[in-house]
Structure 1
Amino acid sequence: MSSTLQWLRDRSNDELAELLAARPDLLLPAPPDLAALARRMDGSATVRRAVGQLDAFGVQVLQAVWLLGDVPTVEYDAVPGDSDSTSPSAQAVSAADVHRLLGGPATRDEVEAALTRLHVQGLIRGDASGYLPAPAVREALGRYPAGLGIAAGLSREEVAHALAGVGEAGLGILRRLVPGPPVGSVEAGSRHGDTIASLVAARLLVDRGDGTVMLPREVALELRGERPLGPADPNPPLLDATPVEDVDGTAAGQALACHAHTVALLEILGNEPAPALKTGGIGIVAVRGLGKRLDLDVHATALYLDVLHGAGLIAPAVIRDHRGPRGEHAGWVPTQAADTYLAGAEPAGWALVAGTWLDMRRNPAQVGRRDAADKIIGALSVQSDWRGGPDTRRRILTEIATLEPGFAATQASLMRRLAYRSPLQHGAGPAAQIDTVLAEATELGIVAFDALSTAGRALLGDDIEGAAAALDRALPDPVDTVLVQADLTLIAPGRLTAGLAAALAELADVESTGSATVYRLSEQSIRRALDAGFTGASLHALLAAHSATPVPQSVTYLIDDVARRHGVLRAGSAEAFMHSEDTGLIAQGIAAAAAAGIRMRSLAPTVAVSQVDLTTLVEALRAAGLAPAAEDASGTILDLRPAPRRTRITVPPRIGPAAPTAPSRDQVESVIRRMRAGDESRGAASDPGSIIAVLREAAKARRSVWIGYADAEGGTSTRMVDPIVVSGGTMVALDRLRQTPRTFTIHRISSASPAET
């Protein structure tokens, strides 16, 4: 078999383009020449990645090429290690050989098509007359490819003769090793000891000398029968689909709840930052506390924290207050981008966080569990990193997306399909992964009843704007009415108009969310609205205008009572002052302040002043049961609530696709031209005199040249340029990559050759 470099040189540009499109990781970073590409292609990591992306049929065909091309040289009575020993001159394998070994149901044409795909990917070399596996393929197929052990040099007749003399007990032991792995342990004093010894003597097992035995490859193939690598089917198994109703409507309702949870979480963290652990992330106690306030379990709370961080909406920051040494501590707070998110439309906000989840390299399902050190895993911690998360989520949802809208797949059929799509990546816990992905997608409103919504399909296609538009279409029109009830609750039967939602956010607290949102009125919430600038009359007018039924007397009385007491006692700045027409209230206020350690001076029966700041005075009066309203110098009511904290992003979110994206055709063609030139530059002009001659001739003839150029750090690159002027130790040329003129120092040019036209 020719070297990988020669194989690449023999490829046409179109064939190289197909190779790079099929294996985009070979382009990261762009190789300067074909020799660099060859070294990369032979690397175990990139070969393992390419083999891992094959479906079951592709893996079977590749296993067959390896199996048939392997020429065993190991003597049977040797004690081999785990590595397979084969002769250096493996034999080429034809499509007919592969088809005969597989045994169907794939046709000869389907086998040939699979071989062509493997050849395009560079995983096998040769032509239709015979193929061989590329270097590192054997390693990429796993420790025991196809579950087979070493070849023992036995003929088929020898195996059949030996098996004919084995009893049922011996056959039972052999059959346990047939599917693979082919190694079994032998316990001292085992009741099967004599049977195993007889199998070793009959050369049907190999004693490895370490308390284990191995089933030889020839024996396993004989016992597997006509299809030793399993049924070779080029078509994936069908999904068992079940119809479900109102997928888009249900998912849209949950998407609104998702958006409401993120908004609530941002508001909480803006006022009360979650403490950051020294190792990063948020501790489980804080996560549970946040979940209790949002009525969410630990998994869902961690999920929302992860997507907010991934979307750049929360980040760790130094919080300066009375806590921690030197009056500061680390905490998680919203970023400056959170204000834009909070002010934006719900569909756009949902599309941002849901799209973030798809490519998030974290596994919030790990939060609350124990790690290898028996410590509980917190949110946003390195212990919850999941590099394969983006690929796993997309693979699962992509399979569901193959169904018609409104259909869900059963878990069993989904597991079979995923195992077929990537058998070498389908590791332990596939059922748990499916459950986790679907549970999180349901929580976020991407799926409903395990069926993908229209908005979810758009997200899967990376169409964020389309996903937001699809959600907007699925949502009912906003309503501007609520049901005001005598138990001091307000029920919003759907999505509220922006103005009404903003007003209710000040007037009442959200008690529960879902298809309907329940708000609760209280003295504190009404006082909050009054602090924000509402009056008792405006609150009555708000409810009267938007209540679907007459406003109950209990609500009217509560608003009147709080409004009557609110602002009767007023505090200002002297540093601070308070005044009231009620002299008794002034006396109570002075006494309450004194009890809190605040000294006040009475200026008049209705006015008193203090040297503490206004916020401290108001908090002390309210703690004593009074209800002062804060005002500025003009008498306007002030909202003394602290502004929500904000920070800049300092820790990059763990987000991004695990696999490189496919390059564009133009990008591939540009890299190919560069590699060809780099390959040819080995014979290009390399001494200073010849380099200058080539450059001057190119400038005179207005031709392009390929040059090797060293940068200031000593790194070299190959680029195509159009020389304009060559003089005085420099060259002014048009850099074809950047499409801008550049000045090159000639002594840094290591080679120069005319570019092909």
Structure 2
Amino acid sequence: MKSATALKSWLAGRTREQLAELLEQRELPQAAAYGRDGLATLGQLADHLLTASSVSRALRDVSLGDLQVLVAVAQLAERVHGPLPTGGTAEPGQFGYPARAEQDPAERAVPREQLLDWLADGPEQRAAAEDALERLTTRALVLPAHAAKVSVPMLFHQQAAELQGLGGPVDSLLSAAFNAAEIHRISDGLGLPKARTRDVAKRQITALLSDPQQVREVAAGAPGEARELLDKLVAGPARLRTRCFTTQYGYYSGPNSKFLFRPGGSGDPGTDWLAARGLVVPVGTDLAELPYEVGRALRDDDARPAFQPAPPPVTSLVPLPRTAAGEAHSAAASAASRVELLLRTTAAQPLAVRKAGGIAVRDTKRLAKAISAPEQQTRLWLDLAANADLIAPHRDEPSPARGRNRRPGPPPPARMLPTDRYDDWLAASPADRLLPLLATWAIIPEVFSYWPDADETPVALISPQDPVAVPLRHALLAALAQLPPRHGPAPDSGGTPTPKAVAELLACAEWFQPAIAGLGQDAVARALATLDEAGLLGVVAHGALTPVGHAVLALLNAGAARHFPAIPGAGPDLTKHPQLAAAVQALAETLSQLLPPPQTTARFQADLTVTVTGAASPELTELLSAVADRESEGHAVVWRISPATLRRAFDNGLAADDLLERLAAVSEGGATLPQPLEYTINDTARTHGRMRVVRSACCIRSDDETLITELSKARTLAKLALRKIAPTVLISTAAPDTTLATLRTAGYAPVLEAETGTTIIERAPDERAASTMPSLAQARHHHGPGPQTAPALAAKLLATR
């Protein structure tokens, strides 16, 4: 039976939930909505699942152990069926899909028992291999049915050499890399007879390196440093950085450039010895590759294929201190509190957005000072809040056209404002405030604390576009989940994991996400920045995963990152995604257990300070923000009341009696307010409003004639051009709002009065930006017609059975 036919029958037996999960793994329907009717039948889906592009997408979430099983199938197929035939033509695929290879995967199936015997060493490994086969079958990477024989998509057979860590064919490498002079030089290095032409010399080299016995004889004569390097390349990967070669024009000039041997050599005798005999061939600037034939000849044919069913252990561990749980709680509470304060500050004074993008450094510094946090943390909170749809850029309407040409004025600069979701977020508990921030951090494709360019000034609100960030974060959390209970990576004197602990942790992480193995030296800096961010959010404590961290890992395992920029847990409806909804609910419950309910009372002291132990409720925060300034953060938040803050409250319409009553109602234990606080409130209230700004004619009036005389002679008020028209009345040439602002800047406490004589309560309108969070169906670009969600597409396809 053809592979596509067998796969179609297998798909027809899937439940709606199982098929929807498979579609999500393959990033469908977004990737398959081609043609007039889109993806309409299970047969079309089966064809698509066998394409190289679809298989490549599925491999993004496959562990190293499972990948090794797939490679072993292709490797065994070479032994059983011989190398994959090359050449031939194939008809174009339907609906724009790439055409499949002429050979059907079923024709290269291998006996299941032979695969298990070859792959597994002992009953434990055999059981692990069988589990891997079943797991890969649910992902349609091992093709049905594999009861007696196992087959995999053609991509694994076509890339079998690369997946085994082997290089390209020697003939192709030589043709692409060298002109005649270099070919003849390699021929001389191998001791071959003098050839008349380049092609003859190349054929002689290819024939020698294609003979395993002759390759082994050449390798046996290699000096020690060359042999050591050769052993590493044979084990794979088959590439190395080297300065043996240079391009023929002295610089990189394109894909068709030829290479020359660098005059004087590379400085590494071992590499130069290999290059002189064609055992490494240039494939790019400062990059060389070991040919396939050489790697295959020097490998042990009787050795079992690589199979590592479990991640490597992390051995550089220390027991966690008893304070670890408390530190996780403190970090989570501090994160929720600081983001709240940051957003309140942003609501009061919106941030300017630079023309080049991001937030100006001076605004970041101001925010950092306001929330008592380092600038790096402030940038992190801003970026998380923006991607969680709590703040967004807003541009005011341009000024109307004016002048003879009726040209509109220049567009005003964009400002960062709280979104429509901010007010509901502010009224939520600390646990519910932290939830969207954690969900955003989990799936955002960026490590915001990692800024590799030391010469570039970091800015907040950059566009997240790092494709490795989420796989690295996911893999690190998965690696930490493997550590023994109550143990974390060994730290150095500064509390950072030691180099050995980081290396072991990354090796474990690479097992879960093989794609991050190519990061090289960059991986350490990225990993440490990721762990630092996790510590700030309570995801890890002392390098070990907390209960919150386990819940975040479960959210990633549920596939939350597939939906970015929609963020499950930060607003989108999850009704049609039960697995995601369950993961978000579990994270919410874990946060509720970690962060206690907010405090509704405060302790008032005689020095006019107010202390709130723990997180304050939104109502208490609103009241204290109106009458006091926040002084310090931590386990307890301290506020300070002063005449200036009380005048601010009275300006907003609060009366002294009402304020005393409201403060007494939130006093801890029902205690009475300290006398100094009552005296300060009453004294400030008596002096507040002694002068009044009349709105209709912008007059200033006061029953205190001495005060009116003082105002008329004050130099700081000269720009108002005040004129005394009565013992108790002044007039101003400035508008009422300007007059009010100038008087308050000079230290006076005026209020605004209407024409009827009533006091007007000044309240600036709350500005809000429109929400930008898309739904899960709208999050990713959808080409063509058809359902926009995997569950809807699964239902449509199953209806065609």
What TM bracket, shorter-length normalisation? Answer: 0.7 to 0.9
Q: 2-side partners of 1:395 and 1:479: how far apart?
A: 40
The answer to whether 1:649 aligns with 2:797 is: no
Q: Deviations over 1:555-613 (max 9, x none)?
A: 67755654443222233323433332210111223344994443556564223455654
1:147 corresponding residue in structure 2: 165
Q: 1-side partners of 2:766 and 2:658: how far apart?
A: 26
Deviates more, 1:149-158 or 1:357-366: 149-158
1:275 corresponding residue in structure 2: 352
Q: 2-side partners of 1:336 and 1:199: how far apart?
A: 65
Shift in Å, 1:115: 4.0
Q: Indicate how the Cα distance of structure 1 residues 445 and 15 shifts in structure 2: closer, same or farther if over 3 A, else same.
A: closer
The answer to whether 1:440 aligns with 2:459 is: no
Higher relative contact order (CA 8 A, sep 6+): 2
2:465 corresponding residue in structure 1: 385
Percent identity of equivalent pairs: 26
Is residue 170–residue 199 contact of structure 1 (8 Å, CA) maintained in 2? yes
Is residue 167–residue 289 contact of structure 2 (8 Å, CA) maintained in 1? yes
Q: Deviations over 1:97-138 (max 9, x none)?
A: 545655636644543543454455443558566545422235
Q: 2-side partners of 1:249 and 1:417: how far apart?
A: 27
1:205-216 equivalence runs, <5 A: 205=279, 214-216=289-291
Is residue 395–residue 413 contact of structure 2 (8 Å, CA) maintained in 1? yes
Equivalent residue in structure 2 for 1:334, among 418, 433, 438: 418
Q: 1-side partners of 2:375 and 2:662: how far apart?
A: 37
Shift in Å, 1:515: 0.6
Q: 1-side partners of 2:287 and 2:448: how far apart?
A: 40
Q: Indicate how the Cα distance of structure 1 residues 223 and 629 shifts in structure 2: closer, same or farther if over 3 A, else same.
A: same
The answer to whether 1:484 aligns with 2:577 is: no
Q: 1-side partners of 2:21 and 2:584: how far apart?
A: 25
Q: Indicate how the Cα distance of structure 1 residues 586 and 496 shifts in structure 2: closer, same or farther if over 3 A, else same.
A: same
The answer to whether 1:347 aligns with 2:431 is: yes
Equivalent residue in structure 2 for 1:297, among 354, 370, 374: 374
1:417 corresponding residue in structure 2: 508
- What one-letter code is carried by the residue in structure 1 that aligns with 2:459? G
SS at match of 1:424: helix
2:29 corresponding residue in structure 1: 28
Q: Deviations over 1:352-387 (max 9, x none)?
A: 333333233444225x6649xx764532233x4335
Is residue 113–residue 148 contact of structure 2 (8 Å, CA) maintained in 1? no
Is residue 629–residue 645 contact of structure 2 (8 Å, CA) maintained in 1? yes
Q: Indicate how the Cα distance of structure 1 residues 619 and 281 shifts in structure 2: closer, same or farther if over 3 A, else same.
A: same
The answer to whether 1:178 aligns with 2:234 is: yes
1:633-648 equivalence runs, <5 A: 637-640=759-762, 642-648=764-770
Is residue 281–residue 379 contact of structure 1 (8 Å, CA) maintained in 2? yes
- What one-letter code is carried by the residue in structure 1 that aligns with 2:264? G
2:743 corresponding residue in structure 1: 621
Q: 1-side partners of 2:443 and 2:799: how far apart?
A: 33
Is residue 20–residue 790 contact of structure 2 (8 Å, CA) maintained in 1? no
Q: 1-side partners of 2:411 and 2:268: how far apart?
A: 72
The answer to whether 1:502 aligns with 2:577 is: no
Q: Deviations over 1:247-277 (max 9, x none)?
A: 5554343333323323322232223221123
Q: 1-side partners of 2:271 and 2:734: how far apart?
A: 90
1:570 corresponding residue in structure 2: 692
Shift in Å, 1:305: 1.8
Q: 1-side partners of 2:65 and 2:55: how far apart?
A: 17
SS at match of 2:764: coil
Q: 2-side partners of 1:473 and 1:195: how far apart?
A: 60
Is residue 441–residue 447 contact of structure 1 (8 Å, CA) maintained in 2? yes
1:688 corresponding residue in structure 2: none
SS at match of 1:355: helix
Is residue 243–residue 406 contact of structure 1 (8 Å, CA) maintained in 2? yes
Is residue 20–residue 793 contact of structure 2 (8 Å, CA) maintained in 1? no
Shift in Å, 1:517: 1.0
- What one-letter code is carried by the residue in structure 1 that aligns with 2:611? I
Shift in Å, 1:618: 1.7
Q: Deviations over 1:139-191 (max 9, x none)?
A: 677x8323212467856655555544545344234224223332454344338
Gaps of 5+ in 1: 76-85, 677-757
Q: 2-side partners of 1:200 and 1:469: how far apart?
A: 61
1:94 corresponding residue in structure 2: 111
1:26-65 equivalence runs, <5 A: 27-29=28-30, 31-65=39-73
Q: Indicate how the Cα distance of structure 1 residues 528 and 161 shifts in structure 2: closer, same or farther if over 3 A, else same.
A: same
Gaps of 5+ in 2: 33-38, 87-100, 171-208, 245-261, 400-407, 491-500, 556-580, 783-787
Shift in Å, 1:481: 3.4
Q: 1-side partners of 2:283 and 2:600: how far apart?
A: 78
2:632 corresponding residue in structure 1: 512
Q: 1-side partners of 2:628 and 2:157: how far apart?
A: 66
Q: 2-side partners of 1:287 and 1:541: how far apart?
A: 38
Q: 2-side partners of 1:229 and 1:192: how far apart?
A: 37
Q: Deviations over 1:223-257 (max 9, x none)?
A: 55589677523233456674454555543433333
2:339 corresponding residue in structure 1: 262
Q: Indicate how the Cα distance of structure 1 residues 632 and 311 shifts in structure 2: closer, same or farther if over 3 A, else same.
A: farther
Deviates more, 1:457-466 or 1:439-448: 457-466
1:78 corresponding residue in structure 2: none
SS at match of 2:414: strand
2:309 corresponding residue in structure 1: 234
Q: Deviations over 1:714-749 (max 9, x none)?
A: xxxxxxxxxxxxxxxxxxxxxxxxxxxxxxxxxxxx
**Number of equivalences:** 656
Shift in Å, 1:654: 12
Deviates more, 1:447-456 or 1:220-229: 220-229
Shift in Å, 1:316: 1.2
Q: 2-side partners of 1:194 and 1:611: how far apart?
A: 87
Equivalent residue in structure 2 for 1:307, among 377, 381, 384: 384
Q: 2-side partners of 1:197 and 1:570: how far apart?
A: 90
- What one-letter code is carried by the residue in structure 2 that aligns with 1:607? V
The answer to whether 1:5 aligns with 2:13 is: no
Q: 1-side partners of 2:743 and 2:355: how far apart?
A: 38
1:725 corresponding residue in structure 2: none
Aligned residues: CA RMSD:
4.7
- What one-letter code is carried by the residue in structure 1 that aligns with 2:511? Y
Deviates more, 1:286-295 or 1:88-97: 88-97
Q: Deviations over 1:186-233 (max 9, x none)?
A: 3443388997787689x8826569998643446545655589677523
Normalised by the length of structure 1, the TM-score is 0.72
Is residue 630–residue 637 contact of structure 1 (8 Å, CA) maintained in 2? yes
Q: 2-side partners of 1:205 and 1:497: how far apart?
A: 70
Q: Deviations over 1:507-546 (max 9, x none)?
A: 2111221111122334422221222344556666777773
Is residue 316–residue 651 contact of structure 1 (8 Å, CA) maintained in 2? no
1:744-755 equivalence runs, <5 A: none
Q: Deviations over 1:639-669 (max 9, x none)?
A: 4352332222368699999999x99889646
2:646 corresponding residue in structure 1: 526
Is residue 596–residue 620 contact of structure 1 (8 Å, CA) maintained in 2? no
Is residue 593–residue 599 contact of structure 1 (8 Å, CA) maintained in 2? no
Q: 2-side partners of 1:389 and 1:657: how far apart?
A: 19
Q: Indicate how the Cα distance of structure 1 residues 298 and 595 shifts in structure 2: closer, same or farther if over 3 A, else same.
A: closer
Q: 2-side partners of 1:656 and 1:399: how far apart?
A: 33
Q: Deviations over 1:381-429 (max 9, x none)?
A: 33x4335545544444355456688665665454233211122344414
Normalised by the length of structure 2, the TM-score is 0.69
Equivalent residue in structure 2 for 1:111, among 126, 129, 153: 129
The answer to whether 1:189 aligns with 2:207 is: no
Q: 2-side partners of 1:601 and 1:214: how far apart?
A: 89
Q: Indicate how the Cα distance of structure 1 residues 515 and 557 shifts in structure 2: closer, same or farther if over 3 A, else same.
A: same
